[in-house]
Amino acid sequence: MNDNDILIRLRHLMKQSSQAKVDWEAVRTDSTIASLGFDSLTILDLVYDIQQEFRVEFEAEKLAGVRTVGDLIAFLKSCMGGAPGEKSAPRC
């Protein structure tokens, strides 16, 4: 899965989770997460939706260093590189 595929899927998930009025098609890899209108509650839903969509598991605290959508894509790619043949969701 390349960066653009992940970006497209993230846009859809973010639109679903955020209750803010944002032009989601304009979201790029350099867009900051803070500019997308998530609050302490809706960010939890986004984390959940990402875990379900990409079949990965991680604690929300792991996102502390994630500032932009590009950072999030890089983080997810690192999570998805779990051990080959692993049956349960990769944890990172």
Partner 1 sequence: MNESARRVVVTGTGLITPLGSDEETVWTAMMQKRCGIRRLTLVNPSDYKTPIGGEVETDAINAILRQVGVEPVGDRTVDMALAAAGAALRAAGLSESSKVMAPPPIPVIFGTGIGASHSLYHAFESFFQKGVRGLRPTSVPRCMANAISAQISITFRLTGANYVIVSACTSSTTAAGVAFRMIRDGYAECVLCGGADAVFDPFVYAGWNNLGVMSKNPDPLSACRPFDSRRDGCVLGEGAGALVIESLHHAMARGARIRGEILGYGESSDASHITSPSVEGQALAIRDAMSSAGIVPEQIGFINAHGTATRANDECESKSILAALGPAAASIPAASNKSFFGHLLGASGVVESIVTLIGLERGIMPPNLNLDDPDPSCNLCFVRGEATKVKSPVAMKNSFGFGGNNAVLILRAWEETSERQRHSY
**Contact positions toward partner 1, by CB under 8 A?**
16, 19, 21, 41-42, 44-45, 47-48, 57
Contact, 54 vs 80, CB < 8 A?
yes
Residue 28 to residue 58: CA distance in whole angstroms: 23
CB of 74 to partner 1, least distance (A): 24
| 26 versus 41: smaller Cβ distance to partner 1 | 41
Nearer to partner 1 among residue 29 and residue 51 (C-beta): 51
Shortest gap between Cβ of 18 and partner 1 (angstroms)?
A: 10
How far apart CA 80 and CA 89 sit, in angstroms, is: 9
Distance CA 80, CA 28 (A): 21
Q: Which is nearer to partner 1, 41 or 83 (CB)?
A: 41
